[in-house]
């Protein structure tokens, strides 16, 4: 089975998937199956192995990893069994996003502009970084990975990020102008590294440092949550961008569908279902859908 696992992993990686966790799990499953003198996927063996997971979510993940592998190898060998993917019945619950208002983003930018020390690049760096996240919906890892050569006349070139995809992200003229002004200052700052966003020592700005500073900015902007409430995250900038884009969607079912496809491409989603999630995860958008549905049903009931 190990050879089949290796071939499966190689094929998936060619398609752009990292497969690090899948490799660990499938190697473990292959050893477990070998211990039972089995060279093919067996439903009961897969369930017994997956049941060793510490939690329901973990057991579900383990079994579904084997199911994906089994579907692949069954194409050429029908002796492979396909376990029931929903055997453990775990369902992933995604945290509800925090949707920043324009006023809240403005307050964060004002707080970033006051970051010490005076005369250093830190305030400009965080002001530009937060503004870029808010107006493009980039993942924070994508923004921190930007290099000077990724800034083109046509937009930002996001190279091989999540799922190893590369895409071009167009910028509004105002955003492009602001980024150009920052880059001029950043080049004057020097540093031997060609990353757009760097720390005080001239090295690429690490995610951990950004997270710590962002917590400071949330408090300074009055956005620190009450006890027991989730605090807003940097990643929620991406959620807020997606929601605003969907709210600006043109009327008409076909045009909304085109808008959704364009947004999925812009955000770098590998599956459009990830984009549709914003409709059900945002109360304001879900309310709009409910109103539209009620209106449609009311009209349909009319003679």
CA 130 to the chain's CA centroid: 16
β-strand pairing of 151-152 with 167-169: unpaired
In this prediction, residue 273 carries a pLDDT of 66
| 168 and 213 part of one domain | yes
How far CA 125 is from CA of 132, 148, 176, 237, in Å, comes to 11, 14, 15, 17
Same domain assignment for residues 60 and 108: no
The overall longest dimension of the chain from CA atoms, in Å, is: 74
Say which of 139, 186, 195, 239 is annotated catalytic: 139
Asked whether residue 248 is assigned to any structural domain, the reply reads yes
- 244 and 199 in one domain? no
| Full domain range(s) for residue 6 | 2-74
**Cβ atoms of 165 and 270 closer than 8 Å:** yes
The catalytic position among 59, 62, 64, 238 is 238
Residue 126 annotated to the active site: no
Quick one: DSSP state of residue 204?
A: B
Question: What order of strands is seen across the sheet that includes strand 151-152?
Answer: 151-152, 155-158, 167-169
Which residue among 12, 72, 159, 162 is the active-site one?
A: 162
> What's the pLDDT score for residue 303?
40
Q: Can you say whether the dihedral through the CA atoms of 12, 17, 20, 25 is positive or negative?
A: negative
Q: Same domain for 129 and 161?
A: yes
Residues 28, 46: Cα–Cα separation, whole Å? 11
Answer yes or no: 162 catalytic: yes
Whole-number average pLDDT of the chain: 87
Cα separation values, 288 from 241, 250, 255, 278, 294, Å: 18, 14, 16, 13, 10
Domain-embedded: residue 171: yes
Looking at the fold, whether 205 and 270 belong to one and the same domain comes out as no
Average pLDDT by stretches of 10, the chain with 303 residues: 94 85 96 96 97 92 95 94 90 79 96 91 96 95 95 92 78 96 90 87 92 96 88 92 80 63 78 66 59 62 44
Identify how many contiguous H helices and E strands the chain contains and give both numbers: 13, 3
Same domain, yes or no, for 202 and 116?
Answer: yes
Active site residue 36: no
pLDDT at 109: 97
- Of 98, 100, 182, 278, which is the active-site residue? 278
Would residue 226 count as lying in a domain? no
Return d(Cα 30, Cα 40) in angstroms, integer: 9
Domain end marker among 195, 220, 245 = 220
Of the candidates 32, 29, 88, 24, which has an alpha carbon nearest to the alpha carbon of residue 61?
Answer: 88
Evaluate whether residue 82 is within a structural domain.
no
Do the beta carbons of residue 281 and residue 97 sit within 8 Å? Answer: yes
Number of domains in the chain: 3
Task: Identify the domain boundary among 220, 247, 279.
Answer: 220
Asked if 68 is an active-site residue, the reply is: no
Count of residues in the chain: 303
Same structural domain for residues 120 and 191? Answer: yes
pLDDT tens track for 215-267: 999 999 999 988 888 899 999 999 889 888 877 776 655 656 667 777 777 88
Q: Supply the pLDDT for residue 147.
A: 95
Question: Do residues 208 and 262 share a domain?
Answer: no
Whether the bond between 117 and the residue before it is cis, its omega within 30 degrees of 0, is yes
Domain-terminating residue out of 54, 74, 94? 74
Q: What is the pLDDT of residue 163?
A: 59
- Calpha distance 22→65 (Å, rounded): 7
The one catalytic residue in 58, 72, 159, 235 is 235
Is 38 among the domain residues? yes
Residue of 130, 99, 97 whose CA lies nearest to 113: 130
238 is catalytic: yes
Hey, is 155 helix, strand or coil? strand
DSSP 92: -
Residue 283 lies in a domain: yes
Position 42 in a domain: yes
pLDDT of residue 152: 96
278 given a catalytic annotation: yes
Do residues 197 and 273 both lie within one domain?
Answer: no
Q: Are residues 115 and 207 in the same domain?
A: yes
225 found inside a domain? no
Query: What CATH number does the domain containing 114 carry?
Result: 1.10.443.10
């Amino acid at each position: 089975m190990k050879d089949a696992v290796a071939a499966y992993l190689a094929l998936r990686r060619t398609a752009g998937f990292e497969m690090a966790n899948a490799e660990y799990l499938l190697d473990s499953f292959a050893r477990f199956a070998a211990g039972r003198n089995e060279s093919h996927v067996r439903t009961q063996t897969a369930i017994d192995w997956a049941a060793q997971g510490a939690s329901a979510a973990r057991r579900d993940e383990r079994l579904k990893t084997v199911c994906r592998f089994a579907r692949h190898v069954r194409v050429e060998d029908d002796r492979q069994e396909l376990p029931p993917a929903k055997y453990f019945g775990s369902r992933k619950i995604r945290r509800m996003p925090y949707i920043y208002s324009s006023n809240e983003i403005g307050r964060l930018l004002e707080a970033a502009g006051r970051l010490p020390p005076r005369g250093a690049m830190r305030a400009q760096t965080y002001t530009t970084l937060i503004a870029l996240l808010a107006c493009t919906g980039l993942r924070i890892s994508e923004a921190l990975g930007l290099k000077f050569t990724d800034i083109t006349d046509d937009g930002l070139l996001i190279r091989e990020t999540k799922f190893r995809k590369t895409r071009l992200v167009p910028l509004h003229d105002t955003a492009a102008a602001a980024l150009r002004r920052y880059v001029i200052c950043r080049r004057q700052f020097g540093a031997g590294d060609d990353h757009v966003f760097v720390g005080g020592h001239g090295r690429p700005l690490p995610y951990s440092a950004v997270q710590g500073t962002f917590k400071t900015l949330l408090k300074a902007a009055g956005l620190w949550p009450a006890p027991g409430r989730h605090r807003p995250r940097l990643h929620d900038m991406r959620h807020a961008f997606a929601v605003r884009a969907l709210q600006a969607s043109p009327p008409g079912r076909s045009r909304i569908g085109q808008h959704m496809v364009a947004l999925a491409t812009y955000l770098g989603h590998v599956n459009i279902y990830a984009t549709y999630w914003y409709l059900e995860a945002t109360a304001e958008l879900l309310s709009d859908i409910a109103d539209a549905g009620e209106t449609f049903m009311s009209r349909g009931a009319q003679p």
